[in-house]
Amino acid sequence: MEEMIKKVSRVLKKVKIPYVIIGGIPASIWGKPRMTVDTDIILSIPENKIDLFLDLLKTEKFKVYPLKKIEEKLKMGLPVKIAYTKHFSIDLRKASYSLDRKAIERAKNKRIFNISLKICSREDLIIYKLIRFQEIDIFDIKNVILRWKKRIDWQYIENSLQEFSKEIGSEEVLLNFEKIKELIRR
């Protein structure tokens, strides 16, 4: 994992694109440490830099294939998984929603393996976890709330969820938030 993160960090610096890491890594920083085998990254990448970005990943020994399919998915804002080894990978997605752009702007510099990386804020982590809302996401949300409850900007979360809900035309994420509000009240 350490080697992979160092290499992806080098690529992000070379291409000079804004990004934010979401998922298991920030969940371990803001909540309770846990194992993760991938690094989830949202990129604010212009289409004309996608080729360069993917080429640099290839030079760092990431398995960028099928190249055209990965390139097309990134351009459409769809998630892509790029393997580094048999066990470790990066999950990438181009910033497509206002939530993504805000998360990139609000990202915090945190040191991981002695590398400064842009990690999503506690609030943005909770939002992304509410969107996916699987068992591991609920676990991560609970741990962040237990650790930071009084320092979480709940109004920001609610406003962002309402905006995201309108963007995607679904209120499911708002229902997920209602389920989590019980934890907030305790």
Place of tokens 């934010």: 20
Would you say residue 120 has pLDDT above 70?
A: yes
Q: Where are the alpha helices (DSSP H) in the chain?
A: 2-15, 24-30, 47-59, 67-75, 98-106, 122-132, 135-148, 154-168, 172-185
Q: What is the mean pLDDT of residues 28-49?
A: 96
pLDDT of residue 14: 97
pLDDT > 70 fraction of the chain, expressed in percent and rounded: 99
Maximum Cα–Cα distance for the chain, whole Å? 50
42-79: pLDDT as tens digits: 999 999 999 999 999 999 999 999 999 999 999 999 99
pLDDT of residue 93: 97
Q: What is the pTM of this model?
A: 0.95
pLDDT of residue 186: 67
pLDDT of residue 185: 75
Q: Give the CATH number of domain 2-185.
A: 3.30.460
130-160: pLDDT as tens digits: 999 999 999 999 999 999 989 999 999 999 9
Q: Output the CA torsion sign for 38, 61, 94, 111.
A: positive
Q: What is the mean pLDDT of residues 101-108?
A: 98
Q: β-pairing, 38-43 with 89-94? A: parallel
pLDDT of residue 99: 97
Instruction: Report domain extents, the chain.
Output: 2-185
Would you say residue 182 has pLDDT above 80?
A: no
